Structure 1
C-alpha cells in the first residue's frame, strides 16, 4: 500500500491537528488497544510523567502546542497522546516500537544517507510523508506515524539538513526531556552543529542514535545521545547503525541489545567490509533490502518478527552541493520510489 502524501501548514496547533485527523482511525484501531499504550497512559500522573510534561511546556511550548493539536485531531486526552510520544522514555515491560537501520557514505557528488524505517507491522499503509510549512520554525518533509509528532524517523528541512533516527534501549532512563521532543527540535536546526546541540542538551530522558548530513557539505555525523552521555562521530568511511550503542565512549551505559539489532549491525558491517568503496544509492538500497538471514534480516517483513517490527519504508538521501534528492520506497519489490523530491 503506497504512502500518503500529507501537506500541512499554519500554527503548531493546526499542524498537530492535521496530523491527528490523518492518524485518528489507525490510532484508535491499532495503537490505543496495545498494552504499551495503556502502560504509558498510566504514567501521566506519576512524578516522572508530570516532570516530562513540565519540561516540554516550559522550554518547547511550540511542540507542546503541536501535541495539543494532535490530541484534538485524534479526539483523545492530551495526556495519553503526550505519553505515547514518550514511549521510549520509560523502561517498559512491553516491547517498544520503531527500530530502524541507517547507512552513511561520502559520494563523488557529496554524501549519502540511507535508512530503513522499522515500526509496528499493523501500521503498514497507515503512515505518511508530511510536507509541513509551520508559521514558526523551518519547513520540512518527514515520514510520520499516526499518533506521533515528526522528528523521530527520517526527514529533511528547508536548510537541506537531513536527519535520521534509530531507537536505542537503555536499561535505565531518568525522567527528563522526551527524546521525541529533542528529535523534533532537529527539524528546526539550521546546521549540523545546531542539530547536534539540540540532541546533546543535558536533562534528556530516553536515548536515540541521530544521523545528520547537510546540503553543501560532505560532512556526515552520527550521534548516540543518552541521559548518561553523548557520543558524536564524524563519519569518513561508509558505515551503518542499527538499534544499540556502539561507541566505546558509552560503554558504561547499560542497554538491551535485541537479536535483530545485533544481527543487522553485524550484517551491514559485513557487507560494507567485503565490498569496500563509497556507497551508491543502488548499493545502499540492496543493503537495506538484504534478507540473507531468514530469521533476523536487515529488511524485516516477518509476521513473527521478534521485536514486533517490520520495515515500513526505505529512504535514500543524495546530498549534493546545492540540493538534496530524496526517494522513499514503501515496498521491497519495486525499483521505483513511491515518493520522491528535491530540496
Structure 2
C-alpha cells in the first residue's frame, strides 16, 4: 500500500440537533479541548483579539442581531460550550472581516456538476477538526467540515435540500461595517437553492469577502460566487471547469482592495495550467509540482501558515449529492455520503 493510499484522516463525527442554542452548545463542547489547548494560545487568536476596540464591531453585532438572531443564539451556545467569553467567540468568528491575514486558505475546482475542494487551514488543528451532522429545528439538516471554535458553513457542506457549498478565503481590506462573512455563509446552509443563497447575499450589507462554489443536486451547472462590500458576482460554470484559489478574480471585484499572497497566486496559476492540460480535479488538488507554493499544502513552513486538512469531492450529477472526503493527497476516500446518509 503506497503512502497516498494509506494516509489517514482524523475527522471526529459531531452530532448537533435541536435549537440553535443547543447546536452551538454541542459544537462548543466538542471543540473546547482543542480551543483551550491550541487556539487561544495562537498568534491568530491574539491578532483577532487586538481588534476588539474596532469601531465597526458594535454595528456588526447589531446587524447580525437584526438579520439572523438565530445565528446570534448559535454563537451564544458555542461560547457557552467552549467556556469562553461570547465577545471573544464573536470576534473569532469575524476574523477574516477584521484581519486580512487570518489563516484560512483553500483551493476549489468547479465543474458543471461537480465541486472539488482542498480545505486549507491552521495546521495546529490537524487531527482536531470534525464532520458535523447538524439537524436544526425548522431548517434543513446539513453536514459540514467544522473547525473547533467556529460556526459551520465556511468550509465545505451539503444540506438536505441538495445544496452544496465550498468556501475560499478572500483577503479583503475593509472600510465599513457589514454582516460578518461567516454569519452569511452559516445562513446559506438554511436555504434550499443556489438562487436563494445568492439572494441572501445580495439582501444584506457585507463586511468581509469570500468565494463560494455553489451547486445543486440535479442541476446542469454550478456557480462561482464572489461576495464583498463591493458586489455579489455570479459566474455560472456550464461547460468548462474552473479553478479558484483564495483571492477575488471576477471583474465585478476589480476595485476590491485585497491581499494576494504568493501561495494563492501560485496555486491559481498552477491550477489553471493543469486544467488546461486536461488534469482531473483530484489530481489538481493533490499537486505538488510547484515546490515553493504547492496546491497540496503540507509544509510546516507554509508561507501563509496553512496546511491542507482535508479534500472534498462533491458529485451533483444525480438527484442526490454524492460526495467523499479524503485525507490530503490520498487516493481513496475515508468518508462517503449520499445526501446526508453516511455510507462509510
Shorter chain as denominator, the TM-score bin is over 0.9
Q: Choose which of 107, 121, 128 in structure 2 pairs with 1:126.
A: 128
- How far has the Cα of 1:293 moved from its partner? 0.9
Equivalent residues in 2 for 1:218-237, closer than 5 Å: 218-236=220-238, 237=240
The CA distance in 2 between the partners of 1:49 and 1:8, in whole Å, is: 28
Question: Which deviations, in whole Å up to 9, do the C-alpha atoms of 1:180-214 show, x marking residues without a partner?
Answer: 00000110111110011122334110000011010
Task: Give the corresponding residue for 1:20.
Answer: 28
Is this contact kept in 1: 2:119–2:311, CA < 8 A?
yes
Q: Which deviations, in whole Å up to 9, do the C-alpha atoms of 1:48-101 show, x marking residues without a partner?
A: 111111111121111111100000000000010011000011145xx3111000
Q: How far does residue 171 in structure 1 lie from its aligned partner after superposition?
A: 2.4
Question: What SS does structure 1 have at the residue aligned with 2:313?
Answer: strand
Q: Who is 1:304 aligned against? A: 301
Please identify, of 25-34 and 291-300, the stretch whose mean Cα deviation from structure 2 is larger: 25-34
Tell me the equivalent position of 1:90: 98
Measure the CA separation in 1 of the matches of 2:138 and 2:86.
22
User: For residues 133-212 of structure 1, what are the structure 2 equivalents within 5 Å?
Assistant: 133-212=135-214
Unaligned regions of 5+ residues in structure 1, if any?
277-282
> Contact 1:41/1:79 (CA < 8 Å) preserved in 2?
no
- Aligned equivalents of 1:171 and 1:59: distance in 2? 23
Unaligned runs of 5+ in 2: 1-8, 340-344
Q: Which residue of 1 aligns with 2:88?
A: 80
* Stretch of structure 1 that moved more, 28-37 or 178-187: 28-37
**1:88 alignment partner, SS class:** helix
Change (3 A) 1:340 1:173: farther
Shift of 1:42: 4.1
Offset at residue 340 of structure 1 (A): 1.3
Does residue 332 of structure 2 align to residue 336 of structure 1?
A: yes
Alignment of 1:226-265 (within 5 A): 226-236=228-238, 237-265=240-268
Q: Check the 8 A contact 1:44/1:50 in 2, yes or no.
A: no
Task: Note if contact 2:140-2:190 (Cα within 8 Å) is conserved in structure 1.
Answer: yes
Q: Is the 8 A contact 2:21 2:74 kept in 1?
A: yes
SS of the residue 2:214 aligns to: strand
TM-score by length of 1: 0.93
Deviation at 1:173, TM superposition (A): 4.0
Q: Distance in 1 between matches of 2:38 and 2:58?
A: 26
Q: Name the Cα RMSD after superposition.
A: 1.4
Deviation for aligned residue 1:41:
2.8
1:266 matched residue in structure 2: 269
Post-superposition, which runs of at least 4 consecutive aligned residues in structure 1 deviate over 6 A? none
Looking at structure 2, the residues matched to 153 and 54 of structure 1 have their Cα atoms a distance apart, in angstroms, of 25
Q: Tell me which of 101, 109, 116 is aligned to 1:103.
A: 109
Distance across 2 between alignment mates of 1:45 and 1:328: 39
1:128-153 per-position Cα deviation (integer Å, ceiling 9, x unaligned): 00000111321000000000010100
Other-structure match for 1:34:
42
CA offset at residue 45 of structure 1?
Answer: 4.9
State how far apart, in whole Å, the 1-side matches of 2:327 and 2:201 are: 28
Distance apart, 1:174 and its partner CA: 2.1
Aligned equivalents of 1:266, 1:135: Cα separation in 2:
43
- The alpha-carbon deviation at position 38 of structure 1 amounts to 2.6
2:13 pairs with 1:10: no
Q: Structure 1 residues 98 and 298, CA, compared in 2 at 3 Å: closer, same or farther?
A: same
